[in-house]
Copies of this chain bind each other. A is one copy, B any other.
Amino acid sequence: MGNNKQKALVNFKKAQSLISKIIKMIEGNEYCINIMQQNLAVLGLLRSAHQMLMENHLNTCFKKAMETRNEKRKQEMIKEMLTVTKLFNK
């Protein structure tokens, strides 16, 4: 597994543990602002993970595909890339 994929894995595991904490906070009817701040921490972890996966993708599959002469494949890769950047901004 690439270095960036491994770093993303760490982020997802941290996010998982924080979400378990958040679920307990809601069930314990804790103060909304405190819950929201934990949620913002999770959002930060997942955004970084997205960026790490993007970096990994650009340096591996995407790069390889772009070096071939398969125009159809290259168009598909570009479309995919636009999908994950477009959705991310929403």
Which residues of A line the B interface, CB within 8 A?
1, 5, 8-9, 12-13, 15-16, 19-20, 22-23, 26-27, 29, 31-33, 35-37, 39-40, 42-44, 46-47, 49-51, 53-61, 63, 66-67, 74, 78, 80-90
Looking at chain A's contact residues, the main secondary structure is helix
The residue on B at minimum CB distance from A66 is B66
Contact across chains for B29 and A1 when beta carbons are under 8 A apart: yes
A54 to chain B, nearest CB (A): 6
A33 partner, pick from B43, B44, B84, beta carbons under 8 A: B84
What are 16 A-B pairs with beta-carbon distances under 8 A? A1-B26, A9-B23, A12-B22, A12-B23, A32-B61, A36-B50, A36-B84, A37-B83, A39-B49, A40-B50, A43-B46, A47-B89, A51-B85, A55-B78, A85-B85, A85-B88
